[in-house]
Amino acid sequence: MSWLEKVQNSSQNWIKIANETFNSDSIRNFQEQVFKASTATTFSPSQLGILSGILIALLVNAKNHKQHQKFINNLKSSNVLSLVKVIGICFVVVPLFVGILGIFLIYRSFVNVILNLKYGTRYRGILDANDAIWTVEDHTWKSVINILAILEGQQPNKTSNNPEDIVLLIQEKFRNLQSYTSEPYRKVYYKLNRELGYSFWTTDNINIDNYVRLIEVPCSSEYLNLKDLQLWLENTSNNILPNNHSALWEILISSKPFKEDKKLKYPIICRVHHSLGDGVALLRFFLEAIADQDATKTRPLNHHRKLEINVRKTITELLRWTKLIGSIPFHIVQHFSDSSDNNTLHGPRLSGQKVSAWFHESSVDLLPRLRKLKRTIPHSRFSDIILTALSASLNNHFKKVSHPVPEVLRIIVPARIEAPSTDFRLENKFSVAVQKLPIIQMSSESLSVSRMVTRVKRETDLVRSKPDYVINYGIMRVFGYLLPYPMLSGILDSKLATMVFSNLPGPVEEATLGNYRIANLSFSVPHRDLTGVGFTLLTYAGRIQIAICADKNLISSALEASKILQDTYNNLKYFVTVSE
C-alpha cells in the first residue's frame, strides 16, 4: 500500500471523528476564514487545506463523499516538498514550540516562589495574562487611559464651588475606599512591580495626597480657555504615573475653571494604567466608586442561577479553546505576512507628544435620531453608522493634507470577550480584531446613507464571522501568562493598523460628585507601537461624547484633530437629516 493510500485510509477515520465531534457550521466558518486569508507565500490555499487535514484533523469538515473526495484531490495535487514542510512543522516546529512554552511555565512558577519569599505578605501574585500585556510599554507610548471629566456646580452661588473643594471630596472618597475588604477595590491600591522578567502586584502604604492633586495649569487669565485645556491634556497624556510609574492611577484637578454658557466648569483628568482594568470595568469603577453611587451594592444570585452561569462558562471555554488550538498557527502566519497600512496617519515612529481634541454634545438630540436611523438599515449596528461618518471625515482630512486618499485603512476594534459580571471586578476581559474601514467619498452624487453604511457593515460582518476575537484572546491569554514582558512586545505588536476605534456605552443618567454634576465625560485609549491614533465614542446621559488622541508625528495640531471630530459630527447630523 502506497503512502498516499495509507493517508487516504487514515483520513477517513479522522473525518468521521471530526463530523461526530464538532459543530459543522463552526468548522465550515473556520475553513472559509483560512482559505480566504492572505497567508505567507510558503503555502498555497490547497496546501494549507492539507495542513489542516493532516495536522489538525479534528477540524476537517467533510460531511459526505463529495467533500471527502475533494480533500483527497487536494492531497494528490500537492507536491512532495510541500508535504515535507507540513510534516516538518508537525514533528519539529510544533513540539519545539510547546517545549519552549513548557520551559517558560516552569520558569514562571520558579519566579512566583522567589517573589513570594522575598515580599511575604505584601506579595499579591504575578499579573493575570490580560493585565500583563499592558506592562509592555515604551517611552513614546504608555499603557494609560486618560479620562477627561467636566464638573459643574449644581448651586452656582455656593461658596464651596472651587477646585480645592473637589480635591478634598475625591480624596475623602478614596480614603473611605481603603477600608473596603473586597479584592476588586484593594487592587486600586496595589503597586506594579517588574522583576525577573515578570510583572507582579504588591501592597503598599500609599498617600492619597500624592494620587489626587491640584494642578496649576499654565494660564494668563483668571479662567482657562479651550487651548489651555487642550495643552494641559496633551502635556499630561504621556507622563508616567506616580511612584516612578508603579502606581496604577492618579486624578488631577485644574486649579482654574473655564467658562462655558456663563457657567464655571472644572476640568479633571483621571489617568489609569490599563493593567488595572478595561474600559467597561474602569468606567463602572469611576461612576460607582468616585461618583455618588453605592459601590458596594451587588445583585445577589440564587443557587440555580450560579450553577447555570458556571455550566455556560465551562461549555464556552471548552469550545473556545478547541477552536483556538487549531486556529493559532494560521493566525500567526497571516499576521506576519500582512503588510502595513500606507497613509499619512500611519508609518512614522511615534514621538510621544500628543494632540488631543474632544466634542461633547450639549443636548440630547442626535443619539435618539441615530438609533432611529439604525432601525431603518437592516441588521446594521450603531458603530457602523459612527464609522461611516468617521470614514467620510478622514477622506476630507487626507485631501486637506494633500496626500493620496487610501481606499481602505485598518482599524483595531476592541470588544468584550465576556459579558460584565454582576459582581464588580477590576479586570481586562476584552479582545481585539483588525477591521478594514472603506474610505467613503461624500458628495451630491454619492451613495445613499443606507448604502454607505452597508459598505462599512460588510467589513464589520466579515470580521465578526471570523474567529479573530477568540483567537486573539487566546493568544493574549497564553503568551501573556507564560512569557516574560520583554518578549511580549514582539509577539503582541501593533504595526499593521492605522487607528484604534473604541465605542463605550455610558450611563443613561448624569452622575454627580457631591455638590457637582459630571456634565461631560470622554476618554482616550493608549497608543502602541506604530498605531498612534485613537478615536473614542462614549454615550453619556443620552449625549454623544467623541474624542481623538493622536501622536504629533501623525496629526500635527489640535486644530486638525478638532476638524476631524467636527466633520464626523456634521456627517452624523447629515445622515439623520436626509433620512428623516
User: Does residue 320 carry a pLDDT above 70?
Assistant: no
**Mode of pairing for the β-strands spanning 263-273 and 408-416:** unpaired
**How large is the average pLDDT for residues 51-57?**
40
**Secondary-structure percent of the chain, ordered helix, strand, coil, rounded to 5:** 50, 20, 30
Query: Minimum mean pLDDT among 13-17, 97-101, 183-187, 439-443: which range?
Result: 13-17
pLDDT score for 17: 40
Q: 85 falls in which pLDDT band (50, 70, 90)? A: low
| DSSP element (H, E) containing 195 | strand 190-195
CA angle, 566 then 571 then 572, to 5°: 100
* Residue 265 in this model has a pLDDT that exceeds 60: yes
Report the Cα 37 to chain-centroid distance in Å. 23
Q: 21: burial class by Cβ within 10 Å (0-12, 13-18, 19+)?
A: exposed
Q: How far apart are CA 115 and CA 504, in angstroms?
A: 37
Q: Per-residue pLDDT averaged across 285-310, rounded?
A: 54
Query: What is the three-class DSSP state of 236?
Result: helix
Helices 382-400, 449-465: axis angle to 10 degrees equals 110
pLDDT at 233 (0 to 100): 92
Cβ(71)–Cβ(60) under 8 Å?
yes
* Range 160-165 average pLDDT: 78
Say if residue 471 is exposed, middle or buried (CB neighbours under 10 Å; 0-12, 13-18, 19+): buried
Task: Report the amino acid identity of residue 360.
Answer: H
Q: Rounded mean pLDDT of 351-370?
A: 92
pLDDT surpasses 60 at 115:
yes
pTM: 0.78
CB crowding 22-33: b at 16 or more within 10 Å, else e: beeeebebbeeb
Question: pLDDT tens digits, residue range 528-573?
Answer: 989 999 999 999 999 999 999 999 999 999 999 999 999 999 999 9
Q: In sequence order, what E strands does 243-374 have?
A: 249-254, 258-260, 263-273, 354-360
Provide the pLDDT confidence category of residue 338 given band limits of 50, 70 and 90: low
Q: What are phi and psi of 573, to 5 degrees?
A: -65, -40
Instruction: Report d(CA 47, CA 56) in Å as an integer.
Output: 13
Exposure b/e, 280-317, CB count within 10 A at least 16 = b: bbbbbbbbbbbbeeebeeeeeeeeeeeeeeeeeeeeee
For residue 161, the model assigns a pLDDT of: 65
Q: Which residues contact 198 (CB under 8 A, 6 or more apart)?
A: 108, 111, 115, 126, 127, 132, 484, 485
Q: Tell which wins on pLDDT, 391 or 54.
A: 391
Q: Which helix (H) or strand (E) holds 563?
A: helix 558-579
- The per-residue pLDDT for 64 is 45
Nearest to 566 by CA among 358, 275, 260, 281: 358
Average model confidence (pLDDT) across the chain: 79
Q: What is the pLDDT of residues 416-447, one digit of tens each?
A: 877 666 677 888 988 899 999 999 988 754 67
| Pairing label, strands 512-513, 190-195 | unpaired
Judge whether 477 and 129 are in contact, CB under 8 Å.
yes
Asked which of 60-69, 200-209, 309-318 is least confident by mean pLDDT, the reply is 60-69
Q: Taking 90 as the threshold, does the pLDDT of residue 457 lie above it? A: yes
Asked if the model's pLDDT at residue 13 lies above 60, the reply is no
Distance CA 202, CA 196 (A): 15
